[in-house]
Amino acid sequence: MTDHSAVYIGTAFVAGVCVAIACKDLLNRSRREKSTAESPCNGSAARPGPPAIVEGIEGCIGNTPLFRIKSLSDETGCEILAKAEFLNGAGQSSKDRVALSMIEMAEEQGILTPHSGDTIYEGTSGSTGISLATLARAKGYLAHICMPSDQAIEKSNLLLKLGAIVDRVPPAPIVEKDNFVNRARALAQAQTASSSADPTQSVVGSNDRTKSGRGFFADQFENEANWRAHYLGTGPEVYAQCDGQLDAFVAGAGTGGTIAGVARFLKPLLPKLTVVLADPQGSGLYNRVRYGVMFDLREREGTRRRRQIDTIVEGIGINRVTANFEAGKELVDDAVRVTDAQALAMARWLVEKDGIFIGSSSAVNCFAAVKIAMKLGPGHRIVTVLSDSGSRHLSRFWAKAGDVGGAVDTRLEDVLKVRDEDFQ
């Protein structure tokens, strides 16, 4: 054998080894990607890969992860999965989907025109307002938010930092003109009327700021763009992430858009799915689902400590049926009542056991998910929603919950049996 032949053979051998290694690496990578994509309830099932670039902050909304809450799953023998809506990229809550949907529908209908001086008005307990204020700035609008004065102060502080006008108004029933929703509607109508009468005339709003352009009342409680956002987004994502394998969906209702939209998407595909309302104390929806009557004992005349729903939970619970809840009401199979003390205990548990720091409505959802898991028995899969972070609830809900502290060893049975007096 010549020296040249030996070199050729050696080179060919080394090249063959390199090709074999490369092929093996590609094969293993392909298997890993396939395994990840096929893994039920893995966020990548709905998101095969993050896009390199999205268009603006609104492009960061949706496709939120679905993850297993380890402590609750281990304790109940069920898979309790959480849709991490606090990871939406605009206002960091599930209301990002709703706000974007309402704005885009208004634009399609010619009600809103970017950079024209148009103002978006809304009555909200906080999260929808934050999402609207964020997207208003991103898309060329102003925002004017009306909210009850008993909501956590950090929400209105954040709205001000986002450039919104904020009216904190005393809590009042929806039938009164001073209700925060009615005030937002009236202000929007006044601005539109003034703009139509004289386009050059500015309108003086709250805080003595002048505005031109039209006023758009987003109307999250009655606007069908709300439930459609979850029908077109949240529902399909949950179905894909779970590979179509889930037994129950648990969510609270303020406007009712989340539970209605997700139920309308999932139920035709999964007829045996149990859709469960998680309802805080003082809300009438629990009895509406269970008994067909909108009533709560804590709301009787002479028994209420305040004029709205008697709970520290913000964002869910209501004493009227909205158009959005009505859109999915017949698809809701059951309801779980959650007291303030139970929500507080669950919020503390999730920090202690999982490092999950959530807001009050999310704590209600998780408590109800545990109750449904215990009702269905081990081996079932329950999906719920983590609507927002606990950072928006520091001055009220988490002030009541207190600090979790260091070495603690709470039992789930203690959370389930907690009493109101434990948080006095």
Enumerate the active-site residues. 95
For 257, the 3-state DSSP assignment is helix
What size, in residues, is the chain?
Answer: 424
Task: Please choose, from the candidates 55, 80, 9, the residue with its C-alpha nearest in 3D space to the C-alpha of residue 365.
Answer: 80
273: CB partners within 8 A, 6+ apart: 246, 247, 248, 249, 266, 267
C-alpha 306/C-alpha 172 separation (Å) is: 9
Measured from the Cβ of residue 406, the count of other Cβ atoms closer than 10 Å reads 5
In three state form, how does the secondary structure of 191-246 look? HHHHHHHCCCCCEECHHHCEECCCEEECCCCCCCHHHHHHHHHHHHHHHHHCCCCC
CA 78, 79, 84: angle at the middle one, nearest 5? 145
For 356, the 3-state DSSP assignment is coil
For 280, the 3-state DSSP assignment is strand
Measured from the Cβ of residue 26, the count of other Cβ atoms closer than 10 Å reads 10
C-alpha 304/C-alpha 281 separation (Å) is: 12
CA neighbours within 13 Å on the CB side: how many for 54? Answer: 13
C-alpha 218/C-alpha 241 separation (Å) is: 31
* The pair of three-digit structure tokens given for residue 133, joined into one six-digit string: 């204020």
